[in-house]
Amino acid sequence: MLVRFWGTRGSVPVSVTHADIRGKLVAALEGALLTGARKLTTPAAIAAYIDNELGFDIAGTFGGHSSCVEIETSDAPGGEHVICDMGSGARALGADMLARHGASPQTYHVFMSHLHWDHIMGFPFFTPVYIPGNRIVIHGCHAELEFAFRRQQAAPSFPVDFSQLAATIEFDVMAPGHHDNIAGMGVTAKLQRHGGDSYGWRFERNGRSVVYSTDSEHRLDDEAERETFVDFFRDADLVIFDAMYSLAEAISVKADWGHSSNIVGVELCQDAGAKHLCLFHHEPAYKDAQIARMLTETRRFEEITRSGAPLAVSAAYDGFEIAL
């Protein structure tokens, strides 16, 4: 499996501002000056400095698109693709799909966590929906699945009505807890605590497993519910986890907001014996430096609480890939 991230922010897309770019440039140049003897006189020396000595929060960015994740399997049925959520990252994914496959007919299986706007807003900009011969199957556990997608393209909200899409669009309302086989993978949905409900997805193929669990709040005092998530995450090769808040925020000022924290992600994955935790659905108010700091703190917390095999911890960014 190859997991490719196209959008990793929560609630609303954000952009890198002029002040952000200027701050990164100042930090990079200050770092070069502080070393004294460094001479960045060649393109190779400059590239090496950027790639090897600057932190990711200075040399890059965690991006600004809202939730969209692609799961690719090398032995998937021909022309079939798996996508989790249709946030604003779907626009870039659609352009990439067109570059990869041209106008040849493809089938896209889209698994929806829920129907809040930040998770469906990219659909009208997903180029494959305008190409005849393509098939888009939207899977979800909400009865309002079709209504939500049609409504966001109804006048006066959008200039292209849903009925004008050229691809074949299908809606598949699934039952949580039921195991299905779709696009060559075993697929199971799980109900999560979120306003209007959300659903996590577990994908399994050839002994590998990926869990996509975003927009889910975890109550620390609900042990029975906690155990259901430990079972859902059990031995997963990768858990993509809603770590929008710090633990302090999640249990105080932002309690009941429907999101979780990096600390809870570590604890659940450790108990489940998962191999890799990827922090996801980043708070839109966080700058790159804040997300990088959260990643460092999460890795340290994992290290000092570890009782078994190490849990790899990463933070998703637009363009990030994880091979399993």
> Are 48 and 125 part of one and the same domain?
no
Q: 229 lies in a domain?
A: yes
Q: What is the mean pLDDT of residues 139-160?
A: 98
* Structure tokens given for 315: 């933070």
Q: 125 lies in a domain?
A: yes
Query: pLDDT confidence of 148, banded at 50, 70, 90?
Result: very high
The number of distinct structural domains making up the chain is 2
pLDDT attached to residue 36:
58
Q: 246 lies in a domain?
A: yes
| pTM to 2 decimal places | 0.95
Domain boundary, last residue among 42, 59, 76: 59
> Are 169 and 222 part of one and the same domain?
yes
Q: CA-CA distances (angstroms) from residue 89 to 74, 126, 136?
A: 22, 9, 17
> Are 194 and 212 part of one and the same domain?
yes
Q: 222 lies in a domain?
A: yes
Q: 68 lies in a domain?
A: yes
Q: Is residue 292 a contact partner of residue 298, using CB atoms and an 8 Å limit?
A: no
pLDDT attached to residue 37:
54
**pLDDT more than 70, % of the chain:** 98
Q: How many CB atoms lie within 10 A of CB 124?
A: 20
Output 37 or 48, whichever has higher pLDDT: 48
- 11-27 pLDDT tens trace: 999 999 999 999 999 99
The residue written with tokens 């570890």 in the block is 306
> Are 42 and 72 part of one and the same domain?
no
pLDDT attached to residue 77:
67
- 79-124 pLDDT tens trace: 899 999 999 999 999 999 999 998 899 999 999 999 999 999 999 9
> Are 49 and 135 part of one and the same domain?
no
pLDDT attached to residue 38:
67
Q: DSSP class of residue 261? A: B
Give the rounded distance of the alpha carbon of 254 from its chain centre. 21
> Are 147 and 127 part of one and the same domain?
yes
pLDDT attached to residue 62:
97
> Are 139 and 241 part of one and the same domain?
yes
The residue written with tokens 């493809």 in the block is 106
> Are 230 and 294 part of one and the same domain?
yes
> Are 116 and 202 part of one and the same domain?
yes
Q: How many CB atoms lie within 10 A of CB 62?
A: 26
> Are 123 and 261 part of one and the same domain?
yes
Which amino acid type is present at position 267?
E
With residues binned 3-state (H G I as helix, E B as strand, rest as coil), the percentages for the chain, rounded to 5, are: 35, 25, 40
Distance from C-alpha of 204 to C-alpha of 70, rounded to nearest angstrom? 14
Task: Identify the domain containing residue 50 by its residue range.
Answer: 18-59
- 61-85 pLDDT tens trace: 999 999 999 999 877 667 899 999 9
Q: 324 lies in a domain?
A: no
Q: What is the mean pLDDT of residues 205-213?
A: 96
> Are 95 and 73 part of one and the same domain?
yes
The yes-or-no verdict on residue 247 having pLDDT over 90 is no
Q: 184 lies in a domain?
A: yes
pLDDT attached to residue 260:
93
Q: What is the mean pLDDT of residues 229-236?
A: 98
CATH number for the domain that contains residue 287? 3.60.15.10
Q: 194 lies in a domain?
A: yes
Q: CA-CA distances (angstroms) from residue 277 to 15, 230, 249, 268, 310?
A: 25, 13, 20, 10, 11
Output 256 or 93, whichever has higher pLDDT: 93
DSSP states along 160-202: S-GGG--SEEEEEE--TT-EEEETTEEEEEEEE-STT-EEEEE
> Are 252 and 187 part of one and the same domain?
yes
* Phi, psi at 220, each rounded to 5°: -65, -20
The yes-or-no verdict on residue 185 having pLDDT over 90 is yes
